[in-house]
Copies of this chain bind each other. A is one copy, B any other.
């Protein structure tokens, strides 16, 4: 007997794990439109908490998917932009967007806790 039937490619597992963290897809989607600052990301996403946004940005930076640029103004501003690796993700986001447009039906307005089951 084998202990493992056709194990999934570990690269795929990593990629899926990346997207499997909440907000990752949305952050990437926004950055596809161009560099963005912390506050702008917060506003555009709308319901993400700053705590998690900060964490996610660090993750993505550590993964080499985006870079943080600090412009010491004087009005100091930081900006997040995709690296080549991050840009390359656009096809995934694009297909996800197409799928969503075709198959997701807009129901109610989503609230904070992922989903309120019925009541």
Contacts and interface: CB of A to CB of B under 8 A. Distances in A.
Interface of A: 4-17, 19-26, 29-30, 40, 43-46, 85, 88-89, 91-92, 94-106, 109-110, 114
Q: Which applies to chain A's interface (DSSP): helix, strand, loop or mixed?
A: helix
Contact of A4 (B43, B88, B96): B43
A110 B101 CA distance: 34
A14 B91 contact: no
Given A17-B110, A20-B20, A91-B99, 17 more contacts: A5-B43, A6-B44, A10-B106, A11-B100, A11-B106, A12-B96, A12-B97, A13-B26, A14-B106, A15-B97, A15-B100, A16-B24, A17-B22, A20-B22, A88-B99, A88-B102, A91-B95
Nearest to A47: B13
